[in-house]
Structure 1
Amino acid sequence: MKDEMVEFAAAHAADLKGLRIASTETTGGRVLEAVPDLELVRLKSGPLGGDQQIGALIATGEIDMMIFFVDPLTPMPHDVDVKALMRLAIVYDIPMALNRATAEILLRR
């Protein structure tokens, strides 16, 4: 869903500008190529611990919302990490968008 995330970021660059964004390595790099003026911190690749780094940011109160596009028809090699990340977002009551429609609602804040 990286292509969709890049399209979303480009379409909502004005809404995202000024927000501190945390992202996994590859997705963050692709988003920054499309929208280079975003304040985006790139963490490790998801399967190499990036999902867990984002989970730690949730647990320490440094994440206010999560946008994580999921393709339910494609298996993820790091499915366990993604489920753990979603679990933390639920436990810490972080608004979470798993698709574009919900992400657009979150950005309206």
Structure 2
Amino acid sequence: MTDRLKFALVAHDACKPALVDWATKHASLLEGVDIYATGTTGGKLQDSNPKLNIHRFKSGPLGGDQQIGALICEGKLDALIFFIDPLSPMPHDVDVKALTRLAIVYDLPMASSPATANFIVQALCNPPA
């Protein structure tokens, strides 16, 4: 059994650079977290931050969103960081809605932007004494 936090990190194509940048800025905190990411996002995170412990799932449209959703349903995540691009149409929008709905149903802390992700990582990785 591990006491490490478990975060899912996911990003739409246009937001992948922002998520990589955010993770790089918070790498010292995220090194103590088990990170679950969809395919391409996980690869970009790993390339930019090789010290992070990243478990890669399939690409979102190929089932990665559902794999993350299963972790939510099983109570195996502490947070979902999902940088969503609100300005681009998403062909797999139903998968995105299902994933965010599960986070709400299971009362999982969820961030969809760097500002909210900052609050979550600070609260969970640096809890008050």
TM-score (norm 2): 0.83
1:27 to 38, 41, 65: 41
Structure number with higher strand proportion? 2
- Which digits, 9 at most, give the CA deviation of each residue in 1:59-89, with x for residues without a partner? 0011110000011111112110010000000
Supply the RMSD in Å over aligned alpha carbons.
0.6
Q: What aligned pairs does 1:18-97 form with structure 2 within 5 A after superposition?
A: 18-97=32-111
Query: For each residue in 1:89-109, what CA deviation from the matched residue of structure 2 results, as whole angstroms up to 9, or x when unmatched?
Result: 000000000011000000111
Q: Which structure 1 residue ranges, 4+ long, deviate > 6 Å from structure 2?
A: none
> Which of residues 8, 12, 21 in structure 1 aligns to 2:26?
12
Q: What amino acid is the match of 1:78?
A: H
- Percentage identity across paired residues of the two chains: 58
Matches within 5 A, 1:95-106: 95-106=109-120
Report 1 or 2 for greater relative contact order, CA contacts < 8 Å, sequence distance ≥ 6.
Answer: 2
TM-score of the superposed pair, with normalisation by structure 1: 0.98
Aligned length: 109
Q: Which runs of 5+ in 2 are unaligned?
A: 1-14, 124-129
